[in-house]
A and B are shown apart, each in its own frame.
Chain A
């Protein structure tokens, strides 16, 4: 409603206020989030790209464009190449195992049994505790002298005596030997991401209507056929989402590697993220660090696209 005040200097228009204008209100409400994201993610991202094309260091932060030199230097560096390989290796191996194991747990958790709440709490613990602190627990468990695993192996005669299955030495150097160190990192990744994958798989399994499985039974399907032809196809989208999330978390992880091995021994557990940290932050070579980190981006972008495709694919039942 608008009214004109006659005889006055000003025309007074009374419109419905901002509180009712849907379009404007919507934009206002999204503004803080958008502004923040642009300022704190968008702009730094562009800056990272610019740094990677420069030769800036913390000592000399002045900008000088040098083209793709940093990327070339990275590819030539054997530590970088090792980090790249490790990043993929840790992510793919750990997540494949996580998907399989989480499927098993989720199937078990679909059933009713006593003490289920306790089981759930314990299974969820690795996810609910801070990553660095859980990893520190593992650091102590994988200690070169005091590991309880080694103690158990020694007691079982698998270690510590000449001719023992695992070797004559007193301890397995979990974090000191390249092969074992890599395995340790993979195990800790599995340990901490299993809960999340389980939760997602549970959601997927619960979303299959009971009807369908009963109809399949009436139609003559034995349990293996039900799983193979009904349960799995219908949960593929959500399994993919769990897999992709897990990939992202392991791909970009710094904490587990840093706390467990600092990237050692001799860079055998170095990953792109930790190498960026060591080179860019601790080492002060901003440009090189930025370049290394950007190698992650294409993979993450690809993962994002896949995730969106999968989310759309969920069958409307």
Chain B
């Protein structure tokens, strides 16, 4: 249930700044997601919290204690690696027991705890098997059991679901979230999958090129992105961004609908939308096309809910609109969101 604090942490590998002057603080028992493209520094940050990497500058505190120079074993943290890092020559039982043995726990207590952890994840019936005999989902649960058996104060996960196939991933996500809510351990979770991040996190830290772009709840990040990077990274398809002047205009595909459906609020802005391509996805239709005069055409996407049966065909131009309250403005130079509007 500990808090993790990151104070002005930077990490350089030679001339490359992997992590650049970060400040961050988790809540107690919070599920915090570090989200960003590969190379953004999220895994490096996680590894520094774990103690496997040392910050070049700055401090890391766990539960109010400075742990920056302490090795991993003194930090009372647990970690699940992307590859699960199960010891291949040990049985599942011995894998889970390992963190207890390193702390000198006696055999009887070990047995109790291993059975308890195994029970939590439903893997009691193959304690005697070796990792290579297990499926991906089963291995993941062993990795989780091994992490939880010590009842750590901080729980770190590095893309633990990316090795599972798509179907399994969704149910694994749900199980993981419910488990964390039950146990209440402070969790920091790294992923590049923004759907996963939105589904799991209490708060999300969006990172790019070693910097934090935004920290907020999923709703805050989605509805009020701090800059164009967050706006286009989160959300699939990404937010539409248009404009030529100093201020850019942005709106999400699902807010860009046929003009007849867009009513109310402070009024709407209309655009002539020339559809060039359609995708029928069942629950929705994605319309790709251009707005603006031919000479300043901008590529946008519209997300039409499936129950809107309006016939749309490629090559035609339609009147589409966005509610004013759904439009966001961004400064072209800095990318940051701004309240100014293009004049």
Is B78 in the interface zone, CB < 8 Å from A? yes
CB-CB nearest in chain B for A213: B85
How far, in whole Å, are A315 and B103 apart by their CA atoms in the complex?
Answer: 27
A225 lies within 8 A of B102 (CB): yes
Residues on A with beta carbons closer than 8 Å to the beta carbon of B51:
217-218
User: With A225-B102, A316-B132 given, is the CB distance from A218 to B87 under 8 Å?
Assistant: no
How far, in whole Å, are A316 and B133 apart by their CA atoms in the complex?
Answer: 11
Residue in B85, B88, B98, B99 whose beta carbon sits within 8 Å of that of A315 in the complex:
B88
B85 lies within 8 A of A211 (CB): yes
B73 lies within 8 A of A217 (CB): yes
A214 lies within 8 A of B81 (CB): yes
Shortest Cβ gap from B341 to chain A (Å): 50
Shortest Cβ gap from A280 to chain B (Å): 47
Shortest Cβ gap from B194 to chain A (Å): 25
Shortest Cβ gap from A183 to chain B (Å): 38
Residues on B with beta carbons closer than 8 Å to the beta carbon of A317:
88
A220 lies within 8 A of B102 (CB): yes
The residues in A between 188 and 221 inclusive whose CB is less than 8 angstroms from any CB of B are: 209, 211-212, 214-221
Is A21 in the interface zone, CB < 8 Å from B? no
Is B275 in the interface zone, CB < 8 Å from A? no
Is B199 in the interface zone, CB < 8 Å from A? no
Residues on B with beta carbons closer than 8 Å to the beta carbon of A233:
89
- Interface 0/1 of A114-126, CB less than 8 Å to B: 0000000000000
Residues on A with beta carbons closer than 8 Å to the beta carbon of B52:
214, 217-218
Residue in B77, B83, B88, B89 whose beta carbon sits within 8 Å of that of A218 in the complex:
B77
The residues in B between 231 and 249 inclusive whose CB is less than 8 angstroms from any CB of A are: none
- Interface 0/1 of B79-94, CB less than 8 Å to A: 1010101011100000
Is A234 in the interface zone, CB < 8 Å from B? yes
Residues on B with beta carbons closer than 8 Å to the beta carbon of A229:
98
Residues on A with beta carbons closer than 8 Å to the beta carbon of B83:
209, 211
How far, in whole Å, are A215 and B79 apart by their CA atoms in the complex?
Answer: 7
- Interface 0/1 of B58-85, CB less than 8 Å to A: 0000000000000111000111010101
Count of chain A to chain B residue pairs whose CB atoms are closer than 8 Å in the complex: 60
How far, in whole Å, are A188 and B89 apart by their CA atoms in the complex?
Answer: 36
Q: What does DSSP make chain A's interface, helix, strand, loop or mixed?
A: helix
A219 lies within 8 A of B102 (CB): yes
Is B50 in the interface zone, CB < 8 Å from A? yes
Is B146 in the interface zone, CB < 8 Å from A? yes
Shortest Cβ gap from A227 to chain B (Å): 13
Is A230 in the interface zone, CB < 8 Å from B? yes
Shortest Cβ gap from B143 to chain A (Å): 9
Residue in B72, B87, B88, B132 whose beta carbon sits within 8 Å of that of A217 in the complex:
B72
Residues on A with beta carbons closer than 8 Å to the beta carbon of B77:
218
A218 lies within 8 A of B50 (CB): yes
Residues on A with beta carbons closer than 8 Å to the beta carbon of B87:
212, 215-216, 230
B71 lies within 8 A of A217 (CB): yes
How far, in whole Å, are A230 and B85 apart by their CA atoms in the complex?
Answer: 12
How far, in whole Å, are A316 and B89 apart by their CA atoms in the complex?
Answer: 9
CB-CB nearest in chain A for B98: A219
Residues on B with beta carbons closer than 8 Å to the beta carbon of A221:
73, 98, 102
CB-CB nearest in chain A for B71: A217
Shortest Cβ gap from A309 to chain B (Å): 16
Chain B CB within 10 A, most for which of A215, A230, A317: A215
A216 lies within 8 A of B88 (CB): no
CB-CB nearest in chain A for B152: A218
A234 lies within 8 A of B79 (CB): no
Shortest Cβ gap from A202 to chain B (Å): 20
B79 lies within 8 A of A218 (CB): yes
How far, in whole Å, are A229 and B83 apart by their CA atoms in the complex?
Answer: 20
Binding site for B on A (CB under 8 A): 209, 211-212, 214-222, 225, 229-230, 233-234, 315-317
Known: A218-B79, A220-B102, A220-B150. 14 other contacts (CB 8 A): A215-B85, A217-B52, A217-B73, A218-B72, A219-B78, A219-B146, A220-B73, A220-B103, A221-B73, A229-B98, A233-B89, A234-B89, A315-B89, A315-B132
A-B contact pairs, 22 of them (CB 8 A): A209-B83, A211-B83, A212-B85, A212-B88, A214-B72, A215-B81, A215-B85, A215-B87, A217-B51, A217-B73, A218-B50, A218-B51, A218-B78, A219-B73, A219-B78, A219-B102, A220-B102, A220-B103, A220-B150, A229-B98, A315-B88, A316-B132
Nearest 9 A/B pairs, CB to CB: A220-B102, A215-B85, A220-B73, A219-B99, A211-B85, A218-B72, A315-B88, A218-B79, A217-B72
